Structure 1
Amino acid sequence: MYKEPVFLQPAFQERIWGGTKLRQLFDYDIPNPSTGEAWVISAHENGPSIVKNGLLRGKSLSEIWKEYPSLFGYSTAESDFPLLIKILDANDNLSVQVHPDDYYAQQLSGQTCGKTECWYILDCDEDAEIIIGHKAESREEFEAMVNSGDWGNLLHSVKVKKGDFVYVPSGTLHAIGKGIVILETQQSSDLTYRVYDYDRTDAEGKKRELHLKEAITVTSYPHREVQQERVKEDTENLISTRLIEEEYFTVYHWQVRGKTVAPLTTGFLLVSVISGEGLIGTAECESRIKKGDNFIVPVTIGDYFIEGQLELIVSHT
């Protein structure tokens, strides 16, 4: 029985729009000054996280998912690890893009799952904006505006601030704007259809590939904003705010002020420390935690506590 959290080492991704804030904000040892993403809890083949502690040290998350399914409450791992947690540094605008749902992912790309995601804004410049949705009323209108490059009338922009939360279901046209750092919770998919990239070129002078046919197929028409009311529970030294509860994940913001017995759940938890420091422990062992740490609380841990002055983003399937 594994009685401690499983701490994970991020996998970093270079991006044309990346920067250095992952080092500045989280003290991550990023590989270069255009690091756009830290895949902090990942079993995806394009960037698996590696266990940092305990008997499983050195193994990838995908390995322990398959080899030790009891940690996650299963007798066997019959499917892939379901979620992927990232921290993104948008030093420049991300491309305008859309992700398919499970059906279109299988039909268009032969992959097992699509990509529904959500964003918690960790940091951003003043007047930072995201693109979320479009203004076309039909597929035909959308396609005509894309083909004519009428981006100003097509794209729907929204200003954001630190602490905002944005739900991005599959089929939603979207882009993270320059100067924003987010924590993203998503299905474990790396499938993106790019619609517009501001005519940027890479180091070789080439524009990045667009995927207009696929994007037009999978985009939802017309755009409908999906919002849920935040559900807050204030218990001893813990304010737990449910940000979203939907088919693929439930995501919470936990604010810990002192020592609290962690809420019981029926499954494993994915946890990212977004500010502060403290402890997580059981009757048998304690581990220090701080801003930038990411870990899994296995179902085998039993009763545990968290202590300190901390903010956490917590998710489960």
Structure 2
Amino acid sequence: MEPLFMKPVFQEKIWGGNRLHTVFGFDLPSDKIGEDWAISAHPHGVSVVENGAFAGQKLDDLWQNHKELFGNPVEPVFPLLIKILDAEDELSVQVHPDDEYGMKHEGELGKTECWYIIDAEPGAEIIYGHHAQTREELAQMIQDERWDDLLTRVPVQKGDFYYVPSGTIHAIGKGIMILETQQSSDTTYRVYDYGRKDASGNTRELHIQQSIDVTTVPARKPELNVTEVKEGNSSIITYLKTDFFNVYEWQVKGELHLRAHAPYTLMTVIDGFGQLSVNGKTYEMPLGTSCIIPNGIAEWVIKGDCSIIASEPGVKE
């Protein structure tokens, strides 16, 4: 058994740029790339395995036909999606549904997500929550376009972490790069898009009624219980343990020994360079590398000087 390294899937966006090339070294198809879908089985951008016995196979096919790689899961679709986002401009103000609403109205999972801030320009902000106290007030403030009164703006810096449950009004601001761990969903309801027009001169669609339907009112700010465990000069930071996913940062200074705590583990190198050792075999892990540790690999070692965001499926009670 060996790790499954994934080929990136790039998504062009109106707000995208070229820092996935200048920072991560990816060969981009345009200079308006907003997202690297690093690990994905979503039909809008499916990852392909780059190495080993499964080279050339798509992640969604592996999920259906080689369930043993993932601990024989019962879920019909691979539940997680890992992205690196480059916001050269503001993203739309948006909100995502929960699973019940998403399945009923869109035929797919809802979208709870979380963000690790890889980099942020001085003065960069995110929108994270709102000030409406009732759904009626929310609807009225949206109708009146009272965005400064409605939206909560939060300054961010490199290394910050935010949990964004479904129902949270949010937006990533200009000059921010993030690693996003999310449910495997591409359902986004736009509340506001700054009146922008696409390359064809059209304004993008808004989803006002759906946004009002799914937004959590009043807004709730999740409390994080971040913990850190040291191993020599290296450390494991636990950011989240939820029904949807568990998320960690592995800070490697020298080496870090790790064990599986779930049927499979996802990882992406967000800083530096590392080497992954599994069953006596070593794999290079340069900046931007993403892979899955499949079921059957109980332990592994990472050496080098790097930071990795890792995740695993949550356990629903």
Shorter chain as denominator, the TM-score bin is over 0.9
Contact 1:262 1:305 in 2 (8 A): yes
Contact 1:119 1:165 in 2 (8 A): yes
Aligned residue in 2 for 1:66: 64
Cα offsets for 1:34-78 (capped at 9, x unmatched): 00100000000000011111111111111111121111111x655
Aligned with residue 139 of structure 1, among 122, 132, 135 = 135
Aligned residue in 1 for 2:310: 314
Q: CA RMSD in A?
A: 1.2
**Does residue 191 of structure 2 align to residue 204 of structure 1?**
no
The whole-number CA distance in structure 2 between the counterparts of 1:41 and 1:110 is 21
Tell me the secondary structure at the aligned position of residue 149 of structure 2: helix
Paired residue type of 2:107: G
Tell me the secondary structure at the aligned position of residue 167 of structure 2: coil
Aligned with residue 81 of structure 1, among 75, 78, 82 = 78
Aligned with residue 243 of structure 1, among 236, 239, 242 = 239
Q: TM-score normalized by structure 2?
A: 0.96
The whole-number CA distance in structure 1 between the counterparts of 2:225 and 2:75 is 34
Aligned residue in 1 for 2:188: 192
The whole-number CA distance in structure 1 between the counterparts of 2:234 and 2:71 is 25
Question: Offset of 1:126 from its aligned partner?
Answer: 0.3
Aligned with residue 46 of structure 2, among 45, 48, 52 = 48
The whole-number CA distance in structure 2 between the counterparts of 1:10 and 1:77 is 26
The whole-number CA distance in structure 2 between the counterparts of 1:245 and 1:188 is 17
1:264/1:106 CA distance change after superposition, 3 Å: closer
Question: Offset of 1:110 from its aligned partner?
Answer: 2.8
Tell me the secondary structure at the aligned position of residue 208 of structure 1: coil
> Which 4+ residue blocks in structure 1 deviate beyond 3 angstroms?
none
**Does residue 104 of structure 2 align to residue 104 of structure 1?**
no
1:106/1:264 CA distance change after superposition, 3 Å: closer
Aligned residue in 2 for 1:122: 118
The whole-number CA distance in structure 2 between the counterparts of 1:149 and 1:303 is 53
Aligned residue in 1 for 2:288: 292
Tell me the secondary structure at the aligned position of residue 143 of structure 2: helix
Cα offsets for 1:72-97 (capped at 9, x unmatched): 111x6551000000001101000000
Question: Offset of 1:109 from its aligned partner?
Answer: 1.9
- Say which is worse superposed, 300-309 or 145-154, in terms of deviation: 300-309
Contact 2:235 2:256 in 1 (8 A): no
Q: Percent identity?
A: 47
Aligned with residue 283 of structure 1, among 268, 279, 284 = 279
Contact 2:259 2:298 in 1 (8 A): no
Tell me the secondary structure at the aligned position of residue 145 of structure 1: helix
- Say which is worse superposed, 217-226 or 294-303, in terms of deviation: 294-303
**Does residue 149 of structure 2 align to residue 153 of structure 1?**
yes
Tell me the secondary structure at the aligned position of residue 296 of structure 2: helix
Structure 2 unaligned segments of length 5 or more: list them.
none
1:115/1:160 CA distance change after superposition, 3 Å: same
- Say which is worse superposed, 134-143 or 57-66, in terms of deviation: 57-66
Paired residue type of 1:205: G
Question: Offset of 1:281 from its aligned partner?
Answer: 1.2
Give the count of matched residue pairs: 313
Contact 1:278 1:290 in 2 (8 A): yes
**Does residue 167 of structure 2 align to residue 171 of structure 1?**
yes
Aligned with residue 3 of structure 2, among 2, 5, 14 = 5
The whole-number CA distance in structure 1 between the counterparts of 2:107 and 2:273 is 43
Aligned residue in 2 for 1:34: 32
Contact 2:229 2:237 in 1 (8 A): yes
Contact 1:66 1:77 in 2 (8 A): no
Contact 1:108 1:214 in 2 (8 A): no
- Say which is worse superposed, 241-250 or 63-72, in terms of deviation: 63-72
Cα offsets for 1:239-289 (capped at 9, x unmatched): 001011111001001111112321332321000011111211133311111
The whole-number CA distance in structure 2 between the counterparts of 1:27 and 1:289 is 13
Paired residue type of 2:244: Y
Question: Offset of 1:225 from its aligned partner?
Answer: 0.5
Structure 1 unaligned segments of length 5 or more: list them.
none
Aligned residue in 1 for 2:21: 23
Aligned residue in 2 for 1:256: 252
Tell me the secondary structure at the aligned position of residue 63 of structure 1: helix
Aligned residue in 2 for 1:223: 219
Paired residue type of 2:112: T
Question: Offset of 1:300 from its aligned partner?
Answer: 1.7
The whole-number CA distance in structure 1 between the counterparts of 2:220 and 2:255 is 41
Tell me the secondary structure at the aligned position of residue 66 of structure 1: helix
Contact 1:253 1:313 in 2 (8 A): yes
Question: Offset of 1:8 from its aligned partner?
Answer: 0.2
Paired residue type of 1:35: I
Paired residue type of 1:258: G
Tell me the secondary structure at the aligned position of residue 299 of structure 1: coil
